[in-house]
Amino acid sequence: METAEIDLDALRREAASCTRCELYEPATQTVFGEGPPTAWLMLVGEQPGDKEDIAGKPFVGPAGRVLDTALERAGIARAEVYLTNAVKHFRFERRGNRRLHKTPGVTHIRACRPWLDCELAAVRPDAVATLGAIAAKALLGPKFRLTSQRGQVLDWEGRRLVATVHPSAILRVPVEARDEALAALVADLQVVAALRP
C-alpha cells in the first residue's frame, strides 16, 4: 500500500478492537490519535490518562490543559497538530474508587508500536515532538536522556524530532517552580514551532 493511501479513520476503527496487549481489558476504550490527517507536526505523549480513557480522546485532562497553554504560548495551534500517544490504552491501578496512572512497560510500548508507525506513515509529519521520557525512549531508544537532550532538534528516521518534558511534569513540581518549568516547556515548543514548513 502507498503510504499516502493509509486511511486514518480506517486505522482508528481497527485500533478500537486492539487486543495486542492486556491493557485493553480494564481500559474503557482505545484512545487513538487525533488531528489533521496532513498535520505538519505530530506530538507523541505516553499513554491516555483517566479522563482520556473516558473521553476516548488524547490530552483532554489536566495534562492536556497544560499542553494547550504551552502550545498557545509557543505559537502553535492545537488544531494544526496531530496528537497521539506511544501507548493507546490507559494503564492504571485501582485504589478504592480511583484509577491511578501506572507507567506502561516495554511490552506495552512494543505491542502498540505498529499503530504509531501507521499514524506516522499516514500523516507523514515534517516534525515530531515527544512529550516525556517514556515517549522519547519509545522512539529514540532506552539510552536517550531527556534531561541532557531536551529541546534539541534531532534527526530521527528522516524527520526532525524534538523531545521535551511531559506536561504533567509541570503539575508535579512545587508551585513556586511551576512558572519556570512551564517556561522551559514553552521554550522547547518554540524550537518545534520554528520547524513549521
Site string for ligand URA, 45-84 (x = CB under 6 A): xxxxx--x-----xx-x-xx--------------------
Which lies closer to ligand URA via its Cβ, residue 30 or residue 47? 47
Task: Tell me if 9 sits within 8 A of 37, measured CB to CB.
Answer: no
C-beta of 156: minimal distance to ligand URA in Å? 19
Residue 59: CB minimum distance to ligand URA, A: 4
Q: Applying CB under 6 A, does 104 fall inside the site for ligand URA?
A: no
Any long-range contacts for 53-56 (C-beta under 8 Å, 24+ apart)? 53/27, 53/28, 53/29, 53/89, 53/90, 53/92, 53/99, 54/28, 56/28, 56/29, 56/30, 56/31
Site membership for ligand URA, residue 164 (CB under 6 A): no
If one asks whether residue 85 binds ligand URA (CB under 6 A), the answer comes out as yes
CA distances from 30 to 140, 180, 196 (A): 24, 34, 29
Binding site for ligand URA (CB under 6 A): 45-49, 52, 58-59, 61, 63-64, 85
